[in-house]
A and B are shown apart, each in its own frame.
Chain A
Amino acid sequence: NAGVTQTPKFQVLKTGQSMTLQCAQDMNHEYMSWYRQDPGMGLRLIHYSVGAGITDQGEVPNGYNVSRSTTEDFPLRLLSAAPSQTSVYFCASSYSGTSGYEQYFGPGTRLTVT
């Protein structure tokens, strides 16, 4: 199993550009999430999904869209990039059989917006 994969690993955008961060998992997990990690702020939840076709907002959803058409894929779209979205983005998956939604994280995408 590859686990959780994310592409690209690094990305530089100009303000106003849009892009999609890809995330895929091959563990048949129901739950998938997107986090951003910033110095001093910890991991903050952007959006999450409890199954195909079902998504919900997390703590910091503004400026981001998600969709979940399959169990495996959970892309994150930046609509109009802003410097405040410079961060490291992690996708994670989980399943209902765990003790408390234990997360399996991908390797991350480091995004810089100039």
Chain B
Amino acid sequence: TQLLEQSPQFLSIQEGENLTVYCNSSSVFSSLQWYRQEPGEGPVLLVTVVTGGEVKKLKRLTFQFGDARKDSSLHITAAQPGDTGLYLCAGPPNSGYALNFGKGTSLLVTP
């Protein structure tokens, strides 16, 4: 099993602060996905990073895939209460279909 470890597990910050969450593995992934899950809803795909060293930006969110394709980070600039949610990373297996999911980082942004 290709495990994905996410850190921190919980993060509580005030509106306007910057933050970074991490997704790490000892295994190489062909790509990594980031999802956001709001309370009472299903996860929603934010981005997929495919190339080692790749950086993708989605408004105030910046996603980076490590050069060795074993890790990824999500940086949020000037966090807003609407960013509150559970952030999950996931990666496809080397064979088969079952995605490997990390346990997530729960983010709370207070006004």
Contacts and interface: CB of A to CB of B under 8 A. Distances in A.
Given A100-B48, A103-B45, A105-B42, A45 B104 contact: no
B43 A42 contact: no
B27 interface: no
Interface of A: 4, 31, 33, 40-43, 45, 48, 50, 56, 58-59, 90, 92, 98-108
A43 B88 contact: yes
Contacts of B91: 100
Contacts, number: 64
Given A59-B98, A108-B41, 19 more contacts: A40-B103, A42-B88, A42-B102, A43-B88, A92-B42, A99-B31, A99-B33, A99-B48, A100-B30, A100-B31, A100-B48, A100-B91, A100-B99, A101-B92, A102-B33, A103-B45, A105-B35, A105-B43, A108-B42
A29 B91 CA distance: 19
Interface in B88-108: 88, 90-92, 97-99, 101-104
Contact of B97 (A48, A90, A105): A48
Contacts of B50: 99-100
B102 A107 contact: no
Contacts of B29: 100
B44 interface: yes
Given A42-B103, A90-B43, A107-B42, A102 B48 contact: yes
